[in-house]
């Protein structure tokens, strides 16, 4: 791995933060210089709770880039989609500033894992006109390969296949699907069938993509 990888999910609360921290930890153990970044953090005040979770999983203190807010370029207090949280605070998402922060991280690290907010179709900018921006629009513009986080809970098949289809339609490379075992739910039969079907679909439509499994972290 080299460069920036966008970590998205099939839904909110699917385990993007845990997956991002775990993957970063494995890269660190392999001797790679890696840092994580949060695209936009909502529901926080002064510091991104997702970045704090990444560092805890990685077993490291905050980096200088965290304290300089390069890894958390935009924090909004209301726990909602970025477009609504911005509207409530009378702010606008500065996409160029976020990109500049990512580029500065890339100048110092081999790998940047950029965690998104919610799923692929979450609106970043929605002013009711043609120039609105979805997360998937931003990924496509930057040409970041995607690590898609999913799980075995009921509903994951539909949401995962829709997400993979959207990525294919936008011409976005799927680097890996990260299967979050902690969100498997209580029905092992559903989880096992979901995993088998998703692996088959991934091999069929994204044959170069990797399949990773994120363990339940204590």
90 labeled binding residue: no
Helices (H), 47-125: 49-58, 64-67, 82-89, 95-106
42 labeled binding residue: yes
172 labeled binding residue: no
50 labeled binding residue: yes
Per annotation, catalytic residue among 38, 56, 67, 195: 38
3 labeled binding residue: no
Please give the backbone phi and psi of residue 163, each rounded to the nearest 5 degrees, phi first.
Answer: -65, -45
Structure-derived torsion over alpha carbons of residues 182, 183, 188, 193, reported in degrees to the nearest 10: -120
Angle between helices 188-205 and 156-169 (to 10 degrees): 20
Q: How buried is 125 (Cβ within 10 angstroms: 0-12 exposed, 13-18 middle, 19+ buried)?
A: middle
38 classed as catalytic: yes
Which residues define the annotated binding site?
A: 13-18, 42, 50, 115-118, 180-181
Write out the binding residues for Mg(2+).
17, 50, 115
| Binding residue numbers for substrate | 42
Detail the residues annotated as belonging to a binding site for ATP.
13-18, 50, 115-118, 180-181
Active site residues: 38
């Amino acid at each position: 791995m080299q460069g920036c990888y966008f970590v998205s999910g099939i839904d909110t609360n699917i385990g993007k933060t845990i997956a991002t921290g775990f993957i970063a930890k494995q890269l660190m153990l392999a001797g790679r210089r890696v840092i994580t970044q949060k695209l936009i953090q909502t529901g926080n005040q002064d510091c991104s709770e997702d970045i704090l979770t990444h560092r805890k999983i990685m077993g490291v203190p905050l980096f200088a880039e965290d304290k300089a807010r390069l890894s958390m370029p935009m924090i909004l207090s209301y726990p909602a989609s970025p477009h609504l949280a911005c509207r409530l605070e009378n702010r606008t998402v500065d996409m160029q500033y976020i990109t500049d922060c990512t580029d500065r991280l890339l100048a110092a690290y081999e790998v940047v894992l950029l965690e998104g907010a919610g799923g692929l179709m979450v609106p970043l900018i929605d002013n009711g006109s043609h120039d609105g921006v979805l997360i998937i629009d931003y990924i496509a513009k930057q040409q970041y390969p995607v690590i898609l986080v999913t799980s075995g809970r009921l509903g994951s098949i539909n949401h995962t296949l829709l997400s993979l289809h959207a990525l294919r339609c936008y011409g976005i490379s799927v680097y890996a699907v990260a299967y979050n075992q902690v969100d498997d739910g209580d029905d092992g039969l559903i989880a096992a069938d979901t995993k088998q079907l998703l692996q088959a679909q991934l091999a069929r439509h994204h044959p170069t993509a990797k399949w990773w499994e994120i363990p339940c972290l204590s």
